[in-house]
Structure 1
Amino acid sequence: MRHILIATHGLLASGARSTMEFLIGNVDNVDYITAYVDGQKPINEQIEEYFAKIPQEDEVVIFTDIKGGSVNQKMIPYCLRENTFLVSGFNLAVLIEVTMTPEKLTNDFLKAKIEEAREQLCLVEIEKNNTEENDDDFLL
């Protein structure tokens, strides 16, 4: 089985999971860790509890918010675990793609999906027209 763990500073992780559920439905295999949030257990404890419940043979993909950030650094030791991958920086596209793909994950597959997700990050530029128009010009 594949498990997805989204681990971030603050509430970004819970929001990402919530949005995934809204868009694709059942995301029972997606968990999150919200680090450094008042009322939450310390991050090390949250991580230990998470991995204690995951069977050793299962795949785990960890998504963190900032490469080199404290959350990302705390996940690095868990990458020694077989079938465990760590992706730093993420967007919704890569989360959904990795969650929904049925095939076994490899480094090459994940690198390709990360590159595809990067392509979705862009500045949307709209050319401004200097002519005077009113709303009626757009109605047909």
Structure 2
Amino acid sequence: MERKLILASHGNFASGILSSLELICGKNDRITTMDAYMAADYNLSEEIKALMDENKGNELIVITDIFGGSVNNEFLNYIHTPSFYLIAGMNLPLLIELVTQLESTDSIPEMIKQALANSTMTIQFCNETIQNEIEEEEF
């Protein structure tokens, strides 16, 4: 059983963030992207079904752009599939953590929880963070 990632988004976000991820972590043939709604006749359900069929038998982590968005909601139909993990809120620190830990982890759910916690800490209001550091240095 292989471990695979699918990055799925509205528009080109998934393929765009993959470009950044590959710049940092290198190419990885275990990552697939799905850029939804890029054609007038696009069928989200069919595309996701095809991806799921293609990845039967794999441990599959799907990362979508927006919780509650149509892409995430369509993947929710597969939430009870064995070895299927769905994450919403795709961002680069999260992806870096997942990719660098993917092969070495014994527990995908634990890896995901830790990656979410770590990537959340990278989201900062820099003005406030820097101001707080300056104030701490003054004491």
SS in 2 for 1:27: coil
Return the alpha-carbon distance in structure 1 between the equivalents of residues 71 and 83 of structure 2. 20
Change (3 A) 1:27 1:64: same
Change (3 A) 1:40 1:121: farther
1:73 Cα deviation from its structure 2 partner: 0.3
Aligned residue in 2 for 1:5: 6
1:97 Cα deviation from its structure 2 partner: 1.3
Aligned residue in 1 for 2:26: 25
Q: Is the 8 A contact 1:64 1:88 kept in 2?
A: yes
Return the alpha-carbon distance in structure 1 between the equivalents of residues 29 and 41 of structure 2. 21
Q: 1:27-46 deviations in whole A, cap 9, x for unaligned?
A: 11111111111267422121
Q: State the AA in 1 paired with 2:113.
A: K
Indicate the larger mover: 109-118 or 97-106. Answer: 97-106
Q: 1:9-50 deviations in whole A, cap 9, x for unaligned?
A: 111001011111121112111111111112674221211111
Counterpart mapping for 1:1-140 below 5 A? 1-38=2-39, 41-56=42-57, 58-101=58-101, 102=103, 103-125=105-127
Return the alpha-carbon distance in structure 1 between the equivalents of residues 8 and 106 of structure 2. 22
Change (3 A) 1:86 1:7: same
* Percent identity of paired positions between Structure 1 and Structure 2: 27
Following TM superposition, the consecutive aligned residue runs of length 4 or more in structure 1 with deviations greater than 4 angstroms are none
Q: Which 5+ residue runs of structure 1 have no aligned equivalent?
A: 128-140
Q: Is the 8 A contact 2:98 2:111 kept in 1?
A: no
RMSD: 1.7
Q: State the AA in 2 paired with 1:112.
A: Q
Return the alpha-carbon distance in structure 1 between the equivalents of residues 118 and 93 of structure 2. 9
Which structure: larger Rg? 1
Q: 1:99-121 deviations in whole A, cap 9, x for unaligned?
A: 22121333233112101100000
Return the alpha-carbon distance in structure 2 between the equivalents of residues 24 and 106 of structure 1. 19
Q: Which 5+ residue runs of structure 2 have no aligned equivalent?
A: 132-139
Q: Greater helix percent: which structure? A: 2
TM-score, normalised to structure 1, is 0.82
Return the alpha-carbon distance in structure 1 between the equivalents of residues 20 and 122 of structure 2. 17
Return the alpha-carbon distance in structure 2 between the equivalents of residues 76 and 117 of structure 1. 22
